Structure 1
Amino acid sequence: MEIIAYGVLADERPVLQAAFDQAFGDRHTLHCLKLFLNRDTAPTAAGREVVLSSVNDTLDAEVLRHLAKSGTKLIAQRATGYNNIDLAAAHELGMTVARVSYYSPHSVAEFAWALALAVDRRIVRAAHRTREFDFRLDGLMGRDLHGRTAGVVGTGKIGTVFARIAHGFGMRLLGWDIDENPYCLALGMEYVPKERLFAESDLVSLHVPLLPDTYHLVNAEMLGLMKQDTVLINSSRGGLIDTDALLAALRAGRLSGVGLDVYEEEAGVFFLDKSLEVMTDERLARLMTFPNVLVTSHQAYFTRDAVGQITETTVRNIEDYFADRTSENTLVHPGLG
């Protein structure tokens, strides 16, 4: 059987192929595509029972109906997030949907800190200057993080690692989540309402999933509560931040710096080379004009360790499908209610 994978990155492909060869040998072959799965590209999956999707694919009801009609029965998402998949439609169509419920939380948490430090200490601007032999320090003054307050929005696996690193810096910890994490409490974290977290924190980092209740969690109200010199970091999901509200805050001179590894309209832009095109997304283009904003292309997870774990879990999800098994990774299955 030929299995098709969408949105496969150049560095991901050999890892995925090696895992496939080891697990399936000649039983199944893998066809990797760079293009993303959406309404226009869905016909390329014709006849493939198993489809491996990426986080930037669009698996709405229309795409799922097309896939089901052409023989697809399993969607194996190579990511933790699944807000791009219409699970209700998949259930109605009798499809199985699985995801990667866990991979190295260190990859994302460490990258969030890389963004925070780069923004706080103006590292990107400094590097651009020194490449042109401009060694002035004008405009590059940062600040110590030791003794300041880190607000961790979401204290699951990734948020906990982020908090542990903040604790290592000697920062005061504020947290906001549905449940209090005993490990974070042991670090000295104080759980507070989100309004207080945004008002008191010198650094705010987002580590919650994108759900109806968290959509535009960082809105004009929350941004208005933040200190003038707060650093805001988002390495979770772009839809957590209201981009228009963020742009208004930046134009007003608020926030010392912003580090974004995700963007709410990143589909169709991130992971692609747009350098020879006109950037038609005016909000993203405007974000890029602020010297205190650093945008990266959804790469926080992108380490050898994390990609290896994602690949191994995806292979297990395929094996479970053929064995008619479910696991903690199963989101939709014909045998589940």
Structure 2
Amino acid sequence: MDIVAFGVLADERPLLVEALRGEHRVRCLEAFLSPETVAVAEGYEIVSSSVNDVLDAAVLSTLAAGGTRLITQRSTGYNNIDLGRARELGLTVARVAHYSPHAVAEFAWALALAVNRRTVRAVGRTREFDFRLTGLMGWDFHGRTAGVVGTGQIGEAFATIAHGFGMRLLGWDAVENPRCRALGMTYVDEERLFAESDLISLHVPLVPETHHLVDAAALARMKDRAVLINTGRGGLIDTAALVATLKRGRLDGVGLDVYEEEAGVFYVDHSLEAMSDDVLARLMSFRNVLVTSHQGYFTRDAVGQIIEATARNVADYLAGRASENVLVAA
């Protein structure tokens, strides 16, 4: 079976080829799936997509007309896929339901620690042999309050690390996690969590109900010296409201591994171009903001699990088997 995979990263390519070797031939493309590139998929029954690909109604219609029957996305999130249109077209859509939650949770903590202790600024100084400590003072996480927004597997892993730091735990979720309760977490409403937390980390999926969950009102409730971390989805935060909050000198720091307009920006080298996204450029101009390129999942463990699940999705589709990864069944 011939398979075309879009948005394949250099470190991901050999793992994907090896996992599908033998029974299948996979064509790996760095280019993202979009209205401009969808024609490349003509004749491929199976398409593997990435989280930053565009799979709207028009792209899905073109894929179906070109013979595509399975879309297997190499991520847990699927907000970039028009599932309703896929169902109308008779497409099968699968994702990766689970992979190492520790990868994302640990990276969220890497951002929190780097933001709090001004690590990036400190390294930049010492590389120029400037060893002053002026402006680098952080604060202890021990004894302070961590607000965990979303207490599924990743939120639980984040909370476990926070518990190890000796932090008070507040949680917000539609369904309480008994393992988080066992850590001493208190479940509260959104307003109280934002008002009382010194560190807030976002671990909920992006659905209509969570779009711009962190809006101007939520930001206004936060402590002036709070730290905000987002390794979930960019659309959870109203970025324009965040920029306005930072311009007023509020928040001790922000760590973002995702951005609501990241498609077409992240995973691409724009170093020789002018940044056309004014909001992102302004956001990155703040010295207390750290932005990374959606790499929270990017460990050998997690990527290996994602590739293995993708190979299973292909095998299940060809065998007519159902699995927890299937979002839409033809």
Which TM-score bucket, shorter chain as reference?
over 0.9
How many Å separate the matches in 1 of 2:168 and 2:282?
33
The reply on whether 1:9 has 2:6 as its aligned counterpart is no
The answer for unaligned runs of 5 or more in structure 1 is none
Deviation per CA, 1:154-193, whole angstroms, max 9, x where unpaired? 0000000000000000000000000110000000000000
How many residues get paired? 330
The reply on whether 1:224 has 2:228 as its aligned counterpart is no
How many Å separate the matches in 2 of 1:312 and 1:180?
30
SS state at 1:188 partner: coil
SS state at 2:210 partner: coil
The reply on whether 1:93 has 2:89 as its aligned counterpart is yes
Q: TM-score, normalised by structure 2?
A: 1.00
Partner of 1:154: 150
Q: What is the CA RMSD across the aligned residues, in angstroms?
A: 0.4
Partner of 1:265: 261
CA deviation after TM superposition for structure 1 residue 305, in Å: 0.2
CA deviation after TM superposition for structure 1 residue 17, in Å: 1.1
2:324 to 317, 325, 328: 328
How many Å separate the matches in 2 of 1:250 and 1:32?
40
Deviation per CA, 1:16-70, whole angstroms, max 9, x where unpaired? 111111xxx1x31010000000101000001000000000000000000000000
CA deviation after TM superposition for structure 1 residue 220, in Å: 0.4
SS state at 2:246 partner: helix
In the alignment, residue 37 of structure 2 is paired with which amino acid?
T
How many Å separate the matches in 2 of 1:305 and 1:137?
37
How many Å separate the matches in 1 of 2:256 and 2:140?
21
The reply on whether 1:18 has 2:14 as its aligned counterpart is no
CA deviation after TM superposition for structure 1 residue 196, in Å: 0.2
Partner of 2:249: 253
The reply on whether 1:137 has 2:133 as its aligned counterpart is yes
Q: How does 1:169-208 map to 2 (within 5 A)?
A: 169-208=165-204
Partner of 2:288: 292
1:77 to 73, 95, 106: 73
SS state at 2:284 partner: helix
The answer for unaligned runs of 5 or more in structure 2 is none
Q: Percent identity?
A: 70
Partner of 1:282: 278
SS state at 1:65 partner: helix
Q: TM-score, normalised by structure 1?
A: 0.98
Partner of 2:300: 304
How many Å separate the matches in 2 of 1:46 and 1:154?
39
How many Å separate the matches in 1 of 2:299 and 2:70?
26
How many Å separate the matches in 1 of 2:258 and 2:274?
20
In the alignment, residue 230 of structure 2 is paired with which amino acid?
N
The reply on whether 1:238 has 2:234 as its aligned counterpart is yes
SS state at 2:85 partner: helix
SS state at 1:18 partner: helix
In the alignment, residue 8 of structure 1 is paired with which amino acid?
V
CA deviation after TM superposition for structure 1 residue 124, in Å: 0.2
1:46 to 33, 42, 45: 42
CA deviation after TM superposition for structure 1 residue 268, in Å: 0.3
CA deviation after TM superposition for structure 1 residue 224, in Å: 0.3
